Structure formats: C-alpha cells, structure tokens
Amino acid sequence: MRRTLVLVGLTAALMAGSAQISQAQFGAVGGVYIDPNGMLRETSTLAAGDLRAKLESALAGSKPSQQVSTASPLRKISLRRLEQAVAALREAGESIPADIRFLAGLNSIKYVLIDPEAGDVVLAGPADAWQQLPSGDMVGRRSNRPVLQLDDLITALRYAFANHAVDGFMGCSIEPTEQGVKSHAAFVKRLTDMNGSQIPEVIQGMEQAMGPQDIHVYGVAPGSRFALQMVAADYRLKRLALAHDPSPSKKVPSYLDLAEKSVTGGPQRQHRWWFVGHYDAIRHTADRLAFEFDGSGLRVDTAPSQPGQGAARNAAKLPAAAKPSKAAKQFADLATKNLPELAEKIPVFAELENLVGLAVAAELIRRQAGARQDAAAVAAAPGDAPANRPDSRWRPSHFLDEKNCPVESFESPAHTPSLANFRFVKDKFWMFSVSGGVEIDAESLVADERLKLAEGAKLSETRARNALPADEMQWWWD
C-alpha cells in the first residue's frame, strides 16, 4: 500500500540531559559524548558502567558540607568575599571546595543587591543541598533544580566586562553546510511516492545527503561549561520539536504532531527554533541598589529558515514578512508558556535559565561598577578594602584574570549528525528543519526601557534585611 509522507530533518542526533565528564580525550555535557574529532555522539554508545565511572571520577569531592546542606528559601552570596576566598585558595595552590564550586547550593538568582558602603554585590535566591543524578546532573535534593556553578559565574562576568561588539551576545547555533543543503534538496527532488518499507532507506538517504552540521558558539569560549550547556539545551529543544524525544509535558506536543493536524499540502517551509533570554520584568528600587528578577528567564522563538542565515541573532532579525507557520509558532508559544514544567523535568533547560540569570546579574554588576573595561584595566586587587577602591563599588578582578583564575575547559564540539523523522499524512509534501540556537543578550535585557520601578517598599526592605555578616570570612549566609 502506497502512502504519502511528511519527512522532517533534525539538526541534532543527541539525547541531552546535562552530564559532564572531564577527560583528556573527550568532554561530555548534556548526556552528549564528544569524540576526539569533534563529532557528537549519544552517550548511549558508551557502556553505562564506564560512563558512571568517568562521572564519579570527574565529580569526586562534590558533596556539600554540612553547613550548606540545609535548604533555604533565600541564600545570599557576597561576591567580594567569594572572590577573596577563591583568590586565596588559588594563591595557596589548593583546590576549590564543593561549597564554592556550586555556590553554596544556590539554584536560581532572585535578587541582585548592591552594597556600595561595603564595596560588595550580593546574589540571593533559593538554595538546597545537591545530589548527583544518574545522568550526571547536580541538582537540589528538594528542588530538583541544577545548582549554579562558579565557572559559569566567572564566564558571565568576563563577558560582561570584556570589550566586545555593541550588538554582541552569548549564544550558539547549529547550521547545515551550504553543500549539505544543496545535496539534501537534490535528494528530495528525486523522491517519488513510496510505501512504508522504503522509509528506512529514505531516512538514511536524507541524513547522508545533509551530512554533518556545524556548531557555532558566540561570546564565550566554545569549550567552556557555559557554552556546552547552551549547546545541550539547544539539542534537546530540537529533539522535542521534531518528536525524537517524548515531551515530558502533555501541554507541549511536538511540532510534528501540531503540523500533522494543520498542514494543507504543498511544500513546507523550513523552520528553526531557538531559546532567547527573557524576563517578564526586572524590577528595581528608586536608587537602583536592588534588582528583582521576575519570570523564567527564557522564551522560545521560531522563524522560517533563510539560506545562509547563520546565528540565532540573524534569525531574530528576519523581515516581518517571513512569518512562521501556525504549527511552528504554536510549538514555540506552548514551549514558552510551559517552560517551568519543562525545566523541572529537563534539567538542562533549568541550567540555561541559570545561565541567563548569571549573565543578567553580571551585566547589572558591570553597570553599577562604571564604564565597561577589560581585566587589564581593573587596578584594585581582590583583597583591597572597599575604602581603597576608586568608587567603593565592587568590580571583579581575580575573576577576570584568566591566567590565575582558570575555568575548566572541555573538548569543544564542532559538528553534529543530521537526523530524519517522518509522519504519514493525507497529502504529499515535505517539511525540513535545519537550525536553531540560543541567544542571551543580557545588555538588552537590562536596558532602561525594560527595567521597572518596584512598587512599595518590599524590595528595599529585602536589601536592608540582608546586610553582610560581621565575619569577613563568611561569604554566604541565610
């Protein structure tokens, strides 16, 4: 029996959680194995026992101390004192303890509190003791949210204080090669009506025609944990959109399921989906010494793909006439609306929310510290007393020193295989999706027109209640 098909090409052949492996020959993130040639493979190709051994070795000594094991609705971190503690450990040649690596169990940023009198900035949010899931994710025992990590904080601060393009952003994208697009188009043209037995052959042909697709990272080092988590989140979004992974929420069906109900026949435009950093609001006090984040920190956008489109930022600047299909927009809207549920069940989405929070916090810190400058222009040492600083406002120094404060680097993925999927429908047409990405533009998120003055005195009272402890060695408190 002959039936017509809807075929969909997918950029990523990856099952993304957020495991992390530190090895000389490969790195892993999001449950993704990266071979020495930079080609991504699913971790399912590795023996489970070997993977667990590598994870346990990489994360040895990652348990929280007894002091941070208590859950807290609002834990505070002094960035000045944290930086001093890290600098002292580095100078002494000692390793960074788990309490510092995982930022005292903080699992999201709710407030950024400026303390110019103490020359400090305080990050505050809910916290919990953490545990390692079988996937390798480090999450709160009660919240099940990934904990924030020191390396990501440092990466965000370095981006905020670096000299980069005015329209720069942190992000990633997956792009087919020009030759791959041509080869895929030629392959599709040769296809005619087929029966079900031909599906495996057609899918394999689509994958081979498109070939490996390129991974691009923007704004941060491709081998940083920050970058790899963005890439892993992007992979997982595509797998959900194209029904390669079952959706953990009944409220978010795949794009294929939505398209199957709404298509009317004829060739279908290629589409892309990508994450964008976004808060419902960032509220501040009148003196702009306290900021509160409202919302998940993410939304999902979509648009028809364009030849030679490049980064996610370019997709966001498509002309108004290039509107997405009903099904593509519906998937993006449902994913955005239900991100809290998706992030609860897919840790790598919550990881991305945390990265957005760190990026926005870093940009707010740069703004309160004065004009943008790179690490070489920061004269004050991390141990200097606030009174010795030019403007008494905290700005990072040791954290910007790439030589003396290194962050862990992993094997950087260069490519991902293409993957095809299909649906039976009444009419004959083809759908194909080839790209997407992540865009975190912290500078635009904290532009004056997007900030809102907080109503009432609650936010000012929150800042006043969270004064620094008297003990200069205490860098976190509840």
pLDDT at 108: 95
pTM to 2 decimal places? 0.82
Q: Are strands 297-304 and 290-294 parallel, antiparallel or unpaired?
A: unpaired
Averaged pLDDT for residues 444-459: 85
Domain layout of the chain by residue ranges = 2-477
In single-letter form, the type of residue at position 10 comes to L
Q: Which pLDDT band, with edges at 50, 70 and 90, does 3 fall under?
A: very low
pLDDT, tens digit (0-9, with 9 covering 90-100), for 146-199: 999 999 999 999 999 997 765 678 888 878 888 888 888 888 778 776 666 777
pLDDT, tens digit (0-9, with 9 covering 90-100), for 315-351: 444 344 468 888 889 999 999 999 999 999 999 999 9
Distance CA 128, CA 70 (A): 6
For residue 447, pLDDT beyond 70: yes
For residue 93, pLDDT beyond 70: yes
The upper half-sphere exposure of residue 399, i.e. CA atoms within 13 Å in the direction of its Cβ, equals: 24
Residue partners of 269: CB distance under 8 A and separation at least 6? 304, 305, 325
- Do 328 and 273 form a contact (C-beta atoms < 8 A)? yes
pLDDT, tens digit (0-9, with 9 covering 90-100), for 109-136: 999 999 988 899 999 999 999 988 877 7
Nearest to 427 by CA among 253, 303, 259, 188: 259
* Residue for token pair 């095809």: 420
Averaged pLDDT for residues 5-19: 33
Q: Which pLDDT band, with edges at 50, 70 and 90, does 32 fall under?
A: low
For residue 61, pLDDT beyond 60: no
For residue 245, pLDDT beyond 90: no
- Do 232 and 32 form a contact (C-beta atoms < 8 A)? yes
pLDDT at 138: 87
Give percent of the chain with pLDDT exceeding 70: 72
pLDDT at 12: 30
Q: Which pLDDT band, with edges at 50, 70 and 90, does 381 fall under?
A: very low
Q: Which pLDDT band, with edges at 50, 70 and 90, does 62 fall under?
A: low
Positive/negative CA dihedral, 244, 174, 274, 124? positive
Q: What is the mean pLDDT of the chain?
A: 77
Distance CA 141, CA 345 (A): 14
Which range (218-222, 418-422, 435-439) has the least confidence? 435-439
Most confident of 35-39, 166-170, 427-431, 435-439: 166-170
